[in-house]
Amino acid sequence: MADPGHLHDCDVAVVGGGLIGIAAALGVAQQGRRVALVEPNPPRVIRGELGLDLRTLALSPASRALLQRLGGWIDVPAAPYRRMEIWEERGTRTMTFDAAEVGRAELGWIVENGPLCAELWAAAAGHDRVTVHDSRLLDLQPGPAGVALDLGDRQLQARLLVAADGAASAVRQRLGVAVQTYQTGQCALATVVRTAYPHQGTAYQRFLLDGPLALLPGADPHLCSVVWSQSEGQAERRQALPAAAFCEELEQAVQSCLGRVEAVDQRLAFPLKQQLAATFNPQPRVLLLGDAARVIHPLAGLGANLGLEDVGAMLAELEHLGAAADPGGAGQWRALDRRRQARSRLMLWVMAGLGQVYARGDPLSQWVRNMGVRWLDGALPIKRQIMREAMGLGRAGRTLTGARD
């Protein structure tokens, strides 16, 4: 492999062409830097029988603002949700979050993953400062002045390597970065359903003893995305059920909040785990972003938003440096690493805590939860702050992302 300090084909190489990788590549290019995007499989738009991508994202206002700056929102169908209703299997109280309580028209948007990534990819591939390499990373060699990448058909030199290649990141593994894994013992079952009543821009989440269940509104008023966390055995059983039987179980599980569940699309199931890399900056010239850095339970739809926070924080640092500066100088990324690690640990702790709290079915735990929900639902200043933080607009989020005013 060539000496990584000999020459540079690009300022920044981004490995991984999912949402986070494409956003990072496009954002860096828009700042005037030369970017190499390494991804063997460009995103495809695959819709199910009901017309929606089975993979949907719940994006916050902060994430939408970033994507709009990158030009990746113009033609993508997005379903705004204005209200959330949360309740539990054995509870007597419902908690509601309404966008009007924080002076906004919406809490966030439900977006189909495939169309969003495809639009961003087109923007990145068409940018004169982005070179797309449809190759796999075979090896890498960090050096004091750059990182050498072996793509098989060619060698690539970069001043900064950004790894956005997912939970099983090849970059992270090749650098020997330790990963702490938190097994949940659950699977997520994802699908799309058609309901008798329109969702009216409301997201529903019910905490069942076996795991949380979410109905997320689609662009069609009668279509909802389903994300149902449950034990592996139940996920396997429900995935194999006839469509009518599954619809009946789902309708009962959400207490017919949208009337009859009339149809269900293909059902996908995947194991759930949470994990955190020991460092997001394992070498002076290497950054881990998105799922390469941390994987979080889909309970609150935070995964994509945290990854886009990573991208925003990285772009803010690069902009502060200036387009002519070396993007991988010694110690350049240590502060960002600390902030993003702190943010990730907080979210992992919150998700684990919620799971434990709602998994307890004894009478005392139920009473405490109901009293807590009743108090919080009436504590408007606290509830408003929680909503702002969830939307990426709160003070804590800005502090831990390193957002610059």
pLDDT score of 5: 46
pLDDT score of 137: 95
pLDDT score of 174: 96
In this structure, the number of other CB atoms found within 10 A of the CB of residue 197 comes to: 12
- State which H helix or E strand residue 223 sits in: strand 223-231
- State which H helix or E strand residue 177 sits in: none
pLDDT score of 100: 87
Query: What would the pLDDT profile of 68-118 be if each residue is shown by its tens digit?
Result: 888 867 677 889 999 989 887 776 667 888 888 888 889 999 999 999 999
Candidates 209, 211, 169; CA nearest to 190 is: 211
- The segments of the chain whose pLDDT lies below 70 read 1-8, 72, 74, 91-93, 299-301, 330, 350-405
What is the β-pairing status of strands 211-217 and 139-142?
A: unpaired
Instruction: Give helix then strand counts, H and E, for the chain.
Output: 11, 19
pLDDT score of 117: 93
E strands present in 82-178: 83-88, 95-98, 108-112, 130-133, 139-142, 147-150, 155-163
Q: Which two tokens stand for residue 312?
A: 């925003």
Q: Helix (H, G, I), strand (E, B), or coil: what is residue 27?
A: helix
